[in-house]
Structure 1
Amino acid sequence: MASATGIPAAMERPHFIGIGGAGMSGIAKILAQRGAKVAGSDARESATAEALRTVGVGVHVGHDAAHLADDATCVVVSSAIRADNPELVRAEELSIPVVHRSDALASLMRGGRGLAVAGTHGKTTTTSMLAVALGELGLAPSYAIGGDLAGPGTNASHGDGDIFVAEADESDRSFQKYDPEVAIVLNVELDHHANYASMDEIHESFEKFAAKIVPGGTLVVSADQAGAVELTERVRRARRARKDTDAPRIVTYGLAPDADVRILAIEPNGLTSQVTVVLDGVEVAFEVSVPGRHYATNAVAALVAGVALGVPAGDLAAALGSYTGVGRRLQLKGEAGGVRVVDSYAHHPTEMTADLEAMRAALPGESKLVVVFQPHLFSRTRELGREMGEALALADASAVLDIYPAREDPLPGVTSELIIDAARSAGARVTPVHDKDSVPGLVAGMVGGGDLVLTMGAGDVTDLGPLILARLGD
């Protein structure tokens, strides 16, 4: 039941554990903007915590049972919160309902026209493109994204329109909670090895996500990426077996000749690209203001999804050109001493390769590409360390940090050396780094005017960009 404020009654006074996380902070912002009395805690002070306070959210630093108010209507957690967290233990003592982040987001999406963006890679960028473009057209969407938009500078907002654009996270199967009108699947690859044992499990999870699309809705899916193609075939087989005549339609996009929306050309132009597609028999051309073929194809997915919601293709294509990026997705941090420093969230080999190729294509002449890479998660490094190392061979030189553990405990024998050994076997020039404080000086000695430094990874490697710029400017 919804309260008088228009938000679910259980969400009137929520308490978020780990409120500074990308997904958690977005939901907290939207609830606060809708009138809820929101509070929460995070392990450390951050810009995100301060941004939450500006919209009326009470944020505690550190985790303590005393932070949880007795009148909280629910406690919101992500899969990263452990059972012994003192605030979670206190919630159970007080019989306060515990709600998973995905359930909280699903409750916010109900009653509107949901557009959920899924895939192993590219979710944040594609969701961001849609949020910016739909906003540019005056449609005032609500959105929840895993990164801060370069324009609005926020990862979430409550809009007055009826469209809700959400990044749909497959890592813990939580994207199966949503009931979107339109769903995008950009790609399907094996990742999140602590939760998925095989590609078959991944495909089953994505099938369940696709099955939640409302009748009359649309599944937008890549015609180029092998895992997405396999998903399309599985969904079609399941529908034939059920003789489901009321199933949502499937629209494929890509360079493949049989794609429903075919990409005719992607023309790189420095840090932008010009894209031409054929949609419903009509050629549509538009500019993508971020580098890389993968970002261009993400923009096509956004275009197709928006058209499925009824937005005119020409208007949406023009509006997509207003997207200027999202934090940590090939984000230019600055330039000093003639050296540009760019930040990348890439942490899976496919993402790493795509971003490295994009940066390589944007570099002139003999300029060098130097990468500072921080592996993310022990389980991912154990399974994909060799491929990560091979990706680093695309750079002229790399510094590889220790593994960022995030929510995981160390695994025996799993260190950054797995990546370093593979990179050297592939012919890469790699320097192991165990002290992050030494990185700015190390990098400064490796680059000169015209070169580009790419800080890469899903952990706190992003903090090094400003420090490298400061050292280069000395």
Structure 2
Amino acid sequence: MVSPEESPVIPATELGRVFFVGIGGAGMSGIARVMLMRGMDVAGSDARDSRVLTLLRAQGAEVFVGHDASHLRDVDTLVVSSAVRDSNAELVAARASGLRILHRSQALAALMVDRRAVAIAGTHGKTTTTSMTTVALQHCGIDPSFAIGGILTATGANAHDGTGDVFVAEADESDGSFLLYTPRVGVITNVEADHLDFYGTGEAVEKAFDQFCDRVGESSDGVVVACADDAGAARVAERARQRGVTVWTYGRSDTADFRLENADFSGPGAVFDLVAQGRRLGRVALRQPGEYNALNAAAAFAVTQALGQPVDRALAGLKAFGGTRRRFELRGEVNGVRVFDDYAHHPTELNALLKAARGVVAGSGRVFAIFQPHLFSRTVNFQVEFAQALGRADEVVVMDVYAAREDPVPGVSGAIVADRVELDPGLVHFIESWSAVVPFVLPKLQPNDIVLTIGAGDVTMLGPEILEGLTS
């Protein structure tokens, strides 16, 4: 990862024709979309065609399927993410020709020049919090630019170039590149050990978030918004305060500046009172379940206040928030069985998801979890914690590992998670074949059950198959 000191921000207007390697990805496509809305010349490639590529072509991008050095004609700037391997033909050609090469985060930082930037960081909850913040600000009358690692359910968009002076961005910590931003407001939803293939230790993760706070502190009116309920975020926040950075906290803790009180997480939507410095601001009823979504909403609200927005309009935006795709997203209901899809791929996310799911069924049905581990390194590092979280479900299918950017590791499969789940052995199943999962699950489902397809890989494609199978 390029350090901030080594990578002065280049305004987007100076990038010329920009080529994205892996333009179909959630983060890359969003940046490309904003550039297209600003009238920039954009091209890119991806391994396979998709609806995202079709939409980018419709906006004016030149998009190729497959990677080839010949695609780089008349290109001024190449954009890559950490998922792009050094052997990629386009990256190799760009280096050989001396082309300007930017990391995805550098390209996003270029779009934030001259905007009040809001960077949403944290081990979990970034996408939902970024989405909630965007919608809350829209209800305040601002038209913010935004770049989200997911898609807003209401609009189907993951990015937009707004007319206002605010830019809300999901800040990915996985490779340290979130330290390339200098935001006016920086959110830290939580800080836990993750992406240890990059950081090595949990202590190194916390150190990166310390640096993130200092980046926020470079602005004279910068504000860090941190979760008081999360031990890691609270430690980072306290150290930042001691260094003179302005910090606001949120959570259920008595010490939080924005506090959740009288909360009810037992139903399909979280309900709570929001209190700031002893002042009761209002009762919030979210459409999304679980304590974790209530905390995300509190973070989003704190951002609106850091930007000086009206309380009533911000609260109205949170109540109107329709969700983000792949975040407890209802894919459909057939014969009394509801199928939800979620991106959870860390034990804390998985635990929060299944805890919320128990509130949704409220004792009237079962929770059937279909979990696909993501990355071999993460599966090894957190096999026990994944198994503990899955113990909250009534019945579990563990699929094989979705490799993503990693090469297979001998002896590492979804079985090492399934073997540790503390449920009756007849209720935990390791199914290695992707295509065998739906036929196995369908006969087991009963009215009032909910099915969760969980993970950052292609497990998301199972939901429609399950629904189709339930209709036949």
Report the TM-score range of the alignment, normalised by the length of the smaller protein.
Answer: over 0.9
Is 1:169 aligned with 2:172? yes
2:241 alignment partner AA: R
With 410-419 and 202-211 compared, the bigger mean Cα shift is at 410-419
Is 1:143 aligned with 2:141? no
Matched with 2:399 is: 401
Distance in 2, Cα, partners of 1:111 & 1:46: 33
Distance in 2, Cα, partners of 1:103 & 1:441: 45
1:428–1:95 Cα change, 3 Å: farther
- Per-residue deviation at 1:387? 0.8
Matched with 1:258 is: 255
Is 1:43 aligned with 2:41? no
Is 1:118 aligned with 2:116? no
Please list the CA deviations of residues 157-191 of structure 1 after superposition, one character each: whole Å capped at 9, or x if unmatched: 10000000000111000110111111110100000
Secondary structure at 2:200's aligned position in 1?
Answer: coil
Matched with 1:318 is: 316
Counterpart pick for 2:449 among 451, 467, 474: 451
Please list the CA deviations of residues 125-179 of structure 1 after superposition, one character each: whole Å capped at 9, or x if unmatched: 0000011121233200000000000011111110000000000111000110111
Matched with 2:3 is: none
Distance in 1, Cα, partners of 2:424 & 2:17: 54
Counterpart pick for 1:101 among 100, 104, 108: 104
Matched with 1:61 is: 65
Distance in 2, Cα, partners of 1:440 & 1:8: 46
2:27 alignment partner AA: G
Matched with 1:216 is: 221
2:249 alignment partner AA: T
Is 1:18 aligned with 2:22? yes
- Per-residue deviation at 1:15? 0.3
Distance in 2, Cα, partners of 1:315 & 1:366: 36
Distance in 1, Cα, partners of 2:125 & 2:425: 28
Distance in 2, Cα, partners of 1:320 & 1:140: 16
Distance in 1, Cα, partners of 2:263 & 2:256: 16
Distance in 2, Cα, partners of 1:55 & 1:327: 22
Distance in 2, Cα, partners of 1:86 & 1:307: 47
- Per-residue deviation at 1:67? 1.9
1:146 alignment partner AA: G
State the TM-score, normalized to the length of structure 1. 0.94
Q: Where in structure 2 are the equivalents of 1:62-77 lying within 5 Å? A: 62-69=66-73, 71-77=74-80
Please list the CA deviations of residues 248-301 of structure 1 after superposition, one character each: whole Å capped at 9, or x if unmatched: 411111111111222112223632122212114321222211111100110001
Is 1:78 aligned with 2:75? no
- Per-residue deviation at 1:41? 0.6
Matched with 2:6 is: none
2:323 alignment partner AA: G
Matched with 1:197 is: 200
Pairwise CA RMSD: 1.5
Matched with 1:373 is: 371
2:191 alignment partner AA: V
Distance in 2, Cα, partners of 1:28 & 1:471: 37
Distance in 2, Cα, partners of 1:442 & 1:252: 46
Aligned residues: 460
Identity %: 45
Is 1:232 aligned with 2:237? yes
1:218 alignment partner AA: V
Is the 1:216–1:248 contact (alpha carbons within 8 Å) kept by the matching residues of 2?
Answer: no
1:216 alignment partner AA: D
Distance in 1, Cα, partners of 2:56 & 2:245: 38
Please list the CA deviations of residues 217-257 of structure 1 after superposition, one character each: whole Å capped at 9, or x if unmatched: 111111111111111222234x1xxxxxxx44111111111
Q: Where in structure 2 are the equivalents of 1:358-437 lying within 5 Å? A: 358-424=356-422, 429-437=427-435
- Per-residue deviation at 1:93? 2.6
2:268 alignment partner AA: L
Secondary structure at 1:301's aligned position in 2?
Answer: helix
Distance in 2, Cα, partners of 1:49 & 1:20: 6
Is the 2:185–2:225 contact (alpha carbons within 8 Å) kept by the matching residues of 1?
Answer: yes
Please list the CA deviations of residues 43-79 of structure 1 after superposition, one character each: whole Å capped at 9, or x if unmatched: 111222122222212221111112222x111000001
1:400–1:269 Cα change, 3 Å: closer
Secondary structure at 2:328's aligned position in 1?
Answer: strand
Please list the CA deviations of residues 349-372 of structure 1 after superposition, one character each: whole Å capped at 9, or x if unmatched: 100010111111110434111111
1:428–1:97 Cα change, 3 Å: farther
Is the 1:215–1:248 contact (alpha carbons within 8 Å) kept by the matching residues of 2?
Answer: no
Distance in 2, Cα, partners of 1:223 & 1:90: 47
- Per-residue deviation at 1:425? 6.9
Matched with 1:243 is: none
Structure 1 unaligned segments of length 5 or more: list them. 1-5, 240-246
Is the 2:375–2:404 contact (alpha carbons within 8 Å) kept by the matching residues of 1?
Answer: yes
2:278 alignment partner AA: G
Distance in 2, Cα, partners of 1:43 & 1:207: 36
Matched with 2:5 is: none
1:265 alignment partner AA: N
Secondary structure at 1:117's aligned position in 2?
Answer: strand
Matched with 1:272 is: 269
Matched with 1:244 is: none
1:216–1:383 Cα change, 3 Å: same
State the TM-score, normalized to the length of structure 2. 0.95
1:272 alignment partner AA: G
Distance in 2, Cα, partners of 1:7 & 1:196: 29
Matched with 2:7 is: none
Secondary structure at 1:149's aligned position in 2?
Answer: coil
Secondary structure at 2:198's aligned position in 1?
Answer: coil
Distance in 2, Cα, partners of 1:424 & 1:358: 19
